[in-house]
Amino acid sequence: MAMQNYTAPGESMKQDDRVFTAQPVILSMPDQKVNDDIIFSTFNLHFCNPCCLGFGAFYNSIKARDNRLLGDIPMAQSYGTRARKLNIAAVIIGSISILIIIIVLAKSFGSVVSSHHHF
């Protein structure tokens, strides 16, 4: 197995009677802070999923993470924002549904108990 020689920046390297100068490469990465709310989406997917809003939020969170890794920050932010909105809608609709179910059960249980006391 042939070994390759690497030179320090600014040093010359000779190959096939040609001289090459090693140049440093500087990569600037943009700020990749994209909020994908993956934990919030996972919670809504499993525990609070009215009208499949939790699934939609989870899907958009995954797409936001994928686009962030691909370097498409504007699209990742768009998916992240949509995931957050779907998560909030899922929590609100799920909470209202649970509250309505509790109220209906309490009313029906109260009417059953009151009918037993009349006999």
pLDDT digits (tens, 9 = 90+) for 104-118: 999 998 887 777 665
What is the value of pTM for the model shown?
Answer: 0.66
The pLDDT score that the predictor gives to residue 89 is 96
DSSP string across 34-90 = ----HHHHHHHHHH--GGGHHHHHHHHHHHHHHHHHHT-HHHHHHHHHHHHHHHHHH
pLDDT averaged over every residue in the chain = 83
How many CA atoms lie within 13 Å of 55's alpha carbon, on the beta-carbon side?
3
d(C-alpha 113, C-alpha 103), whole Å: 15
- pLDDT at residue 5 tops 90: no
The pLDDT score that the predictor gives to residue 18 is 73
Specify the DSSP class assigned to residue 4. Answer: P
The pLDDT score that the predictor gives to residue 14 is 61
d(C-alpha 67, C-alpha 78), whole Å: 10
Mean pLDDT calculated for residue range 31-42: 86
**Chain-centroid distance, C-alpha 106:** 37
Tens-place pLDDT, residues 45-80: 999 888 899 999 999 999 999 999 998 999 999 999
